[in-house]
Chain A
């Protein structure tokens, strides 16, 4: 089987599992909904204020919700020693990693697509800048969260107290990406300044950490 074939097979398997159980997407959706409602309560912003803070709220909600999905990426493979089977199989580690990262990317993108209308309703949002750029920011930002998240989930799944370990590893490294997403989103919503620098920074972050993950994933998978 070619390595792209392995990627496709693993991705289809994960998506089918998720489609039948809907465990991750349901818990993520409900979690993100709770965050939206609680934030909306506790800040009760006017339209002008919410345009300023929405970038931060949206991405913090998505970040927290994404952790829910990321945590169960590899946990599923621990049952019945599937992960050990991957290790001894000749399948390249990177195709497995890419499949997992793409799976998470699809999950988080679906979450974002479903949650965005809610954000618009609750916070009265309307972009004053070029709105199409939000799609670029969403795609790059989601990949930034997901690529490192998938990588660190593979590390945290083999620690004690694995559920809590993932955010502890992921959040510090994600600070520049998160700052870029939040600032890009706010600048597009308020239309006050250009988001170009932040989009370039996000793209650079994506390239750097995708390369690093692909380069180092085999080491992490094989770590004894």
Chain B
């Protein structure tokens, strides 16, 4: 496993740089939106990656609650943290793209709102992890992850109905995508997924290590207190 890490790192670097080149030069310019549309190749892969990571967090949380394996908890933590970063990228690139194209920064559209609510839930997840005392954190965080997942379909239906009553947002739904654009999109998606896996992996490793250090320190101070008696 250890040897796979540098290979993944090299692959990620290659994919990311090719992805950037493809997004800026290879991909054709969109007819109506112009060059600003190229943000698409970063915006959409980030969203997919963030959702994948949140799903990974949910799975790891459930595994933790069943098996009580601390490694599952470390993975859940790493996935949530990296997921929030990617979700932030989505929420920042979205308005940058929306402003010149739709003329507005933000609209309470279904996907936008769902992404924002997911982001809020996972930020509260990270806050909970930060503020709770160490022993109880894993269980409470895992429970919160399950609550968040249950919330998603309800958020979806509420906003879906909310929007159908109000004026429709100005989004060109449907339509087909140029195969060259799709190609660039998929390259970037692969690059972002590798990047997320890489960061998640090292974050997970760091988390496991820091827990080991904490345990050793606690043990040492116990032994020290014991011997000084």
A175-217: CB near B (< 8 Å → 1, else 0) gives 1110110010000000001000110010011001100100010
Q: Which residues of B contact A180 (CB under 8 A)?
A: 158
Number of residues on chain B facing chain A (CB within 8 A) = 30
Cα A172 to Cα B155 in complex, Å, equals 10
- Asked if A161 lies at the interface with its beta carbon under 8 angstroms from chain B, I say yes
Cα A38 to Cα B132 in complex, Å, equals 34
Looking at B117, B133, B162, the one whose CB has the most chain A CB atoms below 10 A away is B162
The answer to whether residues A220 and B150 also contact, given A160-B131, A179-B159 and a CB cut-off of 8 A, is no
- Asked if B103 lies at the interface with its beta carbon under 8 angstroms from chain A, I say no
Cα A205 to Cα B117 in complex, Å, equals 16
Q: Which residues of A contact B154 (CB under 8 A)?
A: 176-177, 201, 204-205, 208
Q: Which residues of B contact A177 (CB under 8 A)?
A: 154
Cα A183 to Cα B160 in complex, Å, equals 13
Q: Which residues of A contact B136 (CB under 8 A)?
A: 158, 223-224
* CB-contacts of B119-138 with A (<8 A): 120-121, 123-124, 127-128, 131-133, 135-136
Q: Which residues of A contact B128 (CB under 8 A)?
A: 155, 159, 165, 168-169
- Whether B146 pairs with A212 at a CB distance below 8 angstroms is yes
Q: Which residues of B contact A219 (CB under 8 A)?
A: 65, 139, 143
What are 6 contact pairs spanning A and B, CB under 8 A? Answer: A175-B117, A176-B154, A209-B150, A220-B143, A223-B136, A223-B139
Can you add 19 more A-B contacts, CB < 8 Å, to A165-B128, A201-B161? A155-B132, A159-B128, A161-B131, A169-B124, A169-B144, A172-B123, A173-B121, A173-B151, A175-B120, A176-B151, A179-B162, A180-B158, A183-B162, A198-B161, A201-B157, A208-B150, A208-B154, A223-B136, A224-B136
